[in-house]
Amino acid sequence: MSRIGVFVCHCGENISRTVDVERVAAQVGKLPGVAFATDYKYMCSDPGQNLLKKAIIEQKLSHVVVAACSPRMHERTFRKAVESAGINPFLCEMANIREHCSWVHENREEATVKAIEIVGMMVERVKKNRVLPTITVPVTKRSLVIGGGIAGIQAALDIADCGHEVVLVEREPSIGGHMAQLSETFPTLDCSQCIMTPKMVDVANHPKIKLYSYSEIELVEGYIGNFQVTIRKKARSVDEDKCTGCGLCMEKCPIKKIPSKFDCNLGMRTAIYVPFPQAVPNTPVIDRENCTKFKTGKCGLCQKVCGPGAVDYEQEDRLIVEPVGAIVVATGFDLYTINEKPKGSMIKGYGEFGHGKIPDVIDGMTFERLASASGPTGGKILRPSDGKEPKQIVFIQCIGSRAREKGISYCSKVCCMYTAKHTMLYHHKVHDGQAYVFFMDARTPGKSYDEFWRRSIEEEEAVYIRGMVSRLYQKGDKIVVMGSDIAVGVQVEIEADMVVLATAIQPQKGADTLAQKLGISYDKYNFYSEAHAKLRPVECATAGIYLAGACQGPKDIPDTVSQASAAAAKVMTLFAKDQLEREPIVARVREAGCVGCFYCKKVCPYGAVEEKEIRDRQGNLIRVVAYVNPGVCGGCGTCQATCPSKSVELDGYTDEQIVAMIEAL
Amino acid sequence: MHSEKQKHSFEPKIIAFVCTWCTYAGADLAGTSRMQYPSNVRVLKFPCTGRIDPVFILKAFQQGADGVLVSGCHPGDCHYIAGNFHARRRFAAFRKLLEFVGVDLNRLQFSWVSAAEGGKWVEVVTDLTEKVRAMGPMAEFKQLALEEQWSGTIGTPELKEAYNAI
Ligand SMILES: Cc1cc2nc3c(=O)[nH]c(=O)nc-3n(C[C@H](O)[C@H](O)[C@H](O)COP(=O)(O)OP(=O)(O)OC[C@H]3O[C@@H](n4cnc5c(N)ncnc54)[C@H](O)[C@@H]3O)c2cc1C
Ligand code: SF4
Ligand code: SF4
């Protein structure tokens, strides 16, 4: 038989003003199972808690109900207090007679009656409460970082510098991401390569970082503290351990005219290649689609010239399993390609701007490659069509962004700033040229950002035209840009030599597939969702997975780096403990009743339900039943309400507990 | 805010099944903001609307509730990613069933009340209370309960026995 203690709080006068607390204690004291009931001015105060502890010991109480404020306020306080008096914390419940009663009702009689019922309900509930152990899960203090752009690099370095091993997985042959492609960066115009490459080298040399380039995530299993990640290391055809990075193979490769993706197709590369000279790792990869050896079986030159014998045509994809405790997702962005509509995309194309059709209509990243000192033109701004220097250049902002009717309603955030940067770079390189910018409005919130933007107009003589472009067409070797200047209310027509489109920032292709493997959520555009837009901006709702950089939403470098360091800090917080403690509100399967329908598995938002085989002593499979992994279970209880055989139960919210409350009414 | 208390001939019993993260917090906010609403409602807290078994609603009616409210986070705001979507689907089907059995659906209200919507909580509770008051007591289920001591949960001795035996 339970010996329940009920403690009714006055909360100064906050409760006692409208609720007759003495009457509540007296009434509830008569309920079967209640051994002790009293009221006190401030239960949460030190004397109040001492009163509680003393009563537990003296009255040999088995369960406790504190009738006071909202459990969201003080449940933890009282559970700690009962624990220190030797009772399992989950045998203590709170009855909310302040927020849900005394504060919202004026009639003393009504409020008192309601309070008695609320406390009565909790008394019946607590009788059915079970002792719950605190759940601890071990933590593997290694971290996975997916994506080797500046976000992934920063996160990996921060975590590794703290002494924890990092597994960095990059899909491309080299790390670096988009920042490696940039020329100079706003708002300071420092050279991107100069600040980026040292960090890339740090990654390569760091004893705690294990880099898998040209690799992808195949499978993610497990849960916070205990993930098992299968990585597909794609066949590079060059042995990374043997290759010295001399580059002889690339010199000798006869296939030399493959458009370089890194250079936005402005430059050419060979079939065996590194994407750019500063690549990390500096090991070439054979593009098997274009290699003669793979296409016809002939050639094999690179293997012949390779001194250390690193070229290996037989190499196959390898699957590697890495155990990690935390995951940082940093897969970055892609640019919206306006001339083609990706399959199944909700985004309508922007064919009217001629990108992909008119050679001198390019996107912002292509302009970065033109402006880059290490780019295909050595930093000269030249037209892709004929290599001439454009004297009139038009930049058009918000291509794809902020156009609901076309499918994207968000702002890409960096285009206003990089367009201003482009006008400056252009002016520095083509002194007698003129830059025009079509814009909706300039969004420049950020330290030194507005000043930077103004400089492009005031010092670098860019002409900003507020309005959109309606049409654009090739006329001879010119591109006619027709638009409106809505500030002045006139139509404008510019005969340009080159047009640069600031196309929208979008998540990487396949971002949704990766999210499904990780079990994290994403928005309708495929940007990954943070757990809370304001208070948990770098954590996923799925425990142990964190976000960094443009994969979560459009971001510039300063924001990306801050978020990456924040994500690393979260990982380190997790790694600061050897064991994770969590509230034992988790679901449990009663195997005897489970019929193996796995409806629970279908509805579980956390993927916590696994299939467990039950075998007899001879090892013959008898049944397959559900098993809830307590490390993964979020504690929502959806499985329980779904289970047709009532075989899964959420601790702390069992049917018994709830029915007892309903029956108390 | 609160008008002169009138005496009513019938005070309905309203049971609210709410999730901790949104609606319970919203009701707390109504309290901290000292808003006033009828005292007829009794709140049962769940981690998520996804945990709310339709059987609880039947049980509540059987136990003498005249109106039942189920309320959780707005779609898309679920603390548990998607529990409320499952709840929504489940209750859509359940309403049909109730209707089929002959329960006036006006007695069962679903709503989304966020942690910031103290005012909405007051509105929802007040509306439901007044609506149910106008409808009068709920007789159907009490009748049923008397007839066969029906219970859909482990509340019956037989089921409990079977449960303990396993
Ligand atoms: C034209 C242009 C100019 C810009 N100029 C500036 C500037 O001057 N200043 C500034 O502050 N910002 C600038 N930005 C913004 C800047 O590029 C971004 O803030 C930054 O690159 C974001 O870094 P990231 O690491 O999040 O993403 P990314 O640079 O896109 O890196 C993501 C990495 O993840 C890898 N990856 C993707 N998917 C997977 C997968 N499934 N598995 C493994 N790896 C994967 C990619 O290959 C890539 O290496 C500019 C952007 C553009 C488009
Ligand atoms: S084998 Fe392929 S990669 Fe090697 S040299 Fe020949 S074409 Fe180039
Ligand atoms: S309680 Fe929720 S999270 Fe846990 S197993 Fe059940 S459905 Fe999954």
> Which of A238, A273, A286 has most ligand 2 atoms within 8 Å of its beta carbon, as the pocket-test mutant?
A286
* Cα–Cα distance, A363 to A368 (Å, whole number): 9
Q: What is the mean pLDDT of chain B?
A: 80
Mutating to test ligand 1, I would choose from A414, A516, A546, A559 the residue with most ligand atoms within 8 A of its C-beta, which is A414
Cα–Cα distance measured from residue A22 to residue A17, given in angstroms and rounded to the nearest whole number:
12
Tokens of A500: 């640069």
B4 pLDDT higher than 70: no
Task: State the pLDDT at residue A485.
Answer: 95
Residue B112 resides in a domain: yes
Distinct helix (H) and strand (E) counts, chain A: 17, 34
Backbone torsions φ then ψ of A46, nearest 5 degrees: -55, -50
* Residue with CA closest to ligand 2 atom 4: A302
> What's the CA gap between A653 and A637, in Å, rounded?
8
Q: Which residues line ligand 3 at a C-beta cut-off of 6 Å?
A: A 586-587, 604, 606, 608-609, 628, 633-639, 650
User: Both A325 and A337 in a single domain?
Assistant: no
Residues A83 and A80: their CA atoms lie apart, in Å, by 5
Within this chain, do residues A408 and A471 fall inside the same structural domain, yes or no?
yes
| Structural domain contains residue B82 | yes
By DSSP bridging, strand A4-9 and strand A34-40 are parallel
pLDDT at B140 over 70: no
Residues A117 and A104 in one domain: yes
- What ipTM was predicted for this assembly? 0.82
E runs forming strands in A204-283: 209-212, 215-223, 226-233, 258-259, 268-269, 272-273
**Residue A306's pLDDT is what?**
95
Atom of ligand 2 nearest to the CA of A272: 3
Q: Do A183 and A273 fall into the same domain?
A: no
Residues of chain A falling short of pLDDT 70: 338-351
Q: A624 - beta bridge partners? A: A613
How far A663 CA sits from the closest chain B CA (Å)? 6
- The distance of A640 to chain B (nearest Cα, Å) reads 6
State how far the Cα of A51 lies from the Cα of B71, in Å rounded to an integer.
37
pLDDT at site B3 = 43
Q: What is the CATH number of the domain that holds B49?
A: 3.40.50
Q: Do residue A65 and residue A212 come from a single domain?
A: no
Report the chain A residue with the minimal C-alpha distance to residue B40.
Answer: A114
The alpha carbons of chain A give a radius of gyration, in whole angstroms, of 32
Which pLDDT score is estimated for B159?
55
Same domain, A347 and A458: yes
Alpha-carbon gap, residue B119 to B122, rounded angstroms = 5
Give yes or no: residues A153 and A203 share one domain. yes
Tokens of A647: 């075989």
Please indicate if any CB of chain B lies within 8 Å of the CB of A637. Answer: yes
Among A139, A119, A315, A329, smallest CA distance to A224 is for A139
Please report whether residue A134 resides in a domain.
no
Ligand 2 mutation pick, A292, A294, A311, max ligand atoms within 8 A of CB: A292
Say how many domains are in chain B. 1
Residue A347, pLDDT score? 60
Are A589 and A569 contacting, i.e. CB atoms less than 8 angstroms apart?
no
Cβ(A170)–Cβ(A214) below 8 Å: yes
B83 C-alpha to center of ligand 3: Å? 9
The H or E element spanning position A600 is helix A599-603
Q: Domain check: are A98 and A149 in the same one? A: no
Q: Kindly list the distances between the CA atom of residue B152 and the CA atoms of A97, A170, A428, A638, in Å, as whole numbers in the listed order.
A: 30, 54, 79, 18
Residue of A nearest to B60 (CA): A662
Q: Does B43 touch chain A (CB under 8 A)?
A: yes
Identify the domain boundary among A127, A162, A194: A127
3-state secondary structure of A411: coil
Distance (Å, whole) CA A412 – CA A423: 18
- Looking at CA atoms only, how far is residue B102 from chain A in angstroms? 22
Closest partner CB to B56 (pick from A70, A71, A658): A658
Count: domains in chain A: 5
Are B28 and A72 in contact (CB < 8 Å)? yes
Q: Which domain holds residue B130?
A: 14-137
Query: Residue A108 belongs to what domain range?
Result: 4-127
Domain end among A69, A94, A127 = A127
Task: Tell if the CB–CB gap between A637 and B35 is shorter than 8 Å.
Answer: no
CA A557 to chain CA centroid, nearest Å = 16
Query: pLDDT for B59-116, tens place per residue?
Result: 888 888 999 999 988 876 677 767 677 777 777 778 887 777 777 888 989 998 988 8
Residue B150 pLDDT exceeds 50: no
CATH assignment at residue A644: 3.30.70.20
Rounded Cα distance, A401 and A663, in Å: 56
